[in-house]
Structure 1
Amino acid sequence: MGLMVDVLDRLEAQDLQAASQAALAENSAIALIELLEMLWSCEPRSADAVIDAVLQRLQQLRALR
């Protein structure tokens, strides 16, 4: 839940770079998937960069398995 709150706070502050960095630093695939679901369903226009970062991080985590 911490990741989602952190990213939403940063999106609200329009700090897309910090929101994306928070996603890229996350090590929990479950937290990333939950964030992705929330961003996808809400569809805030500013979320595109964060969605890209979430997908990138999920690919990185998958490669580490």
Structure 2
Amino acid sequence: MGLTVEVLDQLEVCNPQAAANAALKENSAIALIELLEILWTCGLESANTVIDATLLRLQQLRAMR
């Protein structure tokens, strides 16, 4: 849940790049999937940057399995 709070805080202050960077550093696929679910439904235009980063990080984690 910490990742979600951090990302939403960054989006609230209009810093989608910092939010995306937080997603790219996450190692928990569960946290990333939860974040993705929230971002997908939140309707913020700036969320698209973080959605892309989250999907990329999930692909990276999958490749490391």
TM-score, with structure 2 as normaliser: 0.98
| Residue deviations 1:23-64 (CA, integer Å, cap 9, x gap) | 000000000000000000112111000000000000000000
Alpha-carbon distance between aligned partners in 1 of 2:18 and 2:46, rounded to the nearest angstrom: 12
Q: What number of residue pairs does the alignment pair up?
A: 65
- Gap runs ≥5 in structure 2: none
Q: Percent identity?
A: 69
Match of 1:12 in 2: 12
- Gap runs ≥5 in structure 1: none
Higher helix proportion: 1
Runs of 4+, deviation exceeding 6 Å = none
CA RMSD of aligned residues (A): 0.5
Residue pairs, 1:1-65, within 5 angstroms? 1-65=1-65
